[in-house]
Amino acid sequence: MSGIRRQRRSSEGWRALLARFACSGQTVTAFCRHESVSPASFYRWRSLLGSGSAGAHVPVARALPPAPYPQVWPPGAEPELANGWHVERS
């Protein structure tokens, strides 16, 4: 991507950038061009941190808890698997 230099920002730096965007009145494309940020990075960090509220703490990565039980379907509603196999009761 031409014209955009790489800069590492902390999560606080991204929060500040998102707060500036909220007050800017610009489109994402125009704001990102002005701040030398790729729109993809902007959208990713906005989804991770929310709308840019400074008091909100959002974890960047979290593991999903294991499923408490296996998926069970009622009789006759078993799904077709992608490889052509079909689930049957024995």
- 40-67 pLDDT, tens digit per residue, is 999 999 998 875 444 444 444 555 666 6
Residues recorded for the chain: 90
Check: pTM over 0.85? Answer yes or no.
no
Report helix, strand or coil for 2.
Answer: coil
**pLDDT category, 39, cuts 50, 70, 90?**
very high
Compute CA 19 distance to the chain's CA centroid, rounded to the nearest angstrom: 18
Which two tokens mark 56?
């909100």
Instruction: Write out the DSSP string of 24-88.
Output: H---HHHHHHHHT--HHHHHHHHHHHTT--TT----S--PPPPPSS-----TT-PPBPTTS-B--
